[in-house]
Amino acid sequence: MKFLATAAFAVLLALPAHAAEWTVQPAQSKIGFSGTQIGAPFAGSFGKWTGQISYDPANPEAAHVKITIDTASAVTGDTQRDGALPDGDWFDVSAFPQAVFEANGFTPEGENKFVAAGTLTIRGISQKLALPFTLTMTGKQATATGHVTLLRTDYGVGQGIWKTGDYVGLNVDVNFTLVAVQSGG
């Protein structure tokens, strides 16, 4: 009988652990971007996006994250720029209403630092992206902060006269803070 209990316990230990589901807290989170226009810096953010996160701190390599951004929700506070961003030259929201980042697995890079190797899709163009971030855990709350620089033309953002960096810089910095709480128990 003791042998059966020991064997059953060993089998349970051998089963893969299921990553916990995490619920993003939009009011405490932000996905922002910045760049330059005619040499002057500007910043903006996306007002509508969702996140699906599965993560087990004991097994970060099994994590999964999917962030879906409503590209029509981009705002910078400049009426002219905000009016142009949804147009065909920029995000072309009528044809491509969403941008998506999806990654399977987080690679530990030292104290609280990770890289999520995934794919970013904007305007129907998918590119591999290594997204570095710092993860802070407090009880059942997690806060991920990170930064990455994108070349906007890699994703077709900026068509026609906007393809060059003459008027709008080619590099776009993306900064994010995602706060999530562990769902369920």
Question: Rounded to two decimals, what is the model's pTM?
Answer: 0.87
- Each of the 185 residues of the chain gets a pLDDT tens digit; together they read 433 333 333 333 333 445 799 999 999 999 999 999 999 999 999 999 999 999 999 999 999 999 999 999 999 999 999 999 999 999 999 999 999 999 999 999 999 999 999 999 999 999 999 999 999 999 999 999 999 999 999 999 999 999 999 999 999 999 999 999 998 75
CA-to-CA distance for 121 and 56, rounded, in angstroms?
A: 26
Closest-CA residue to 159 (of 79, 96, 98, 68): 96
Cβ distance 36 to 42 under 8 Å?
yes
Pairing of strands 30-37, 74-75: unpaired
Cβ distance 18 to 55 under 8 Å?
no
Phi, psi (rounded to 5 degrees) for 49: -165, 160
DSSP string, 119-147: EEEETTEEEEEEEEEEEEEETTEEEEEEE
CATH topology of domain 17-182: Lipocalin (2.40.128)
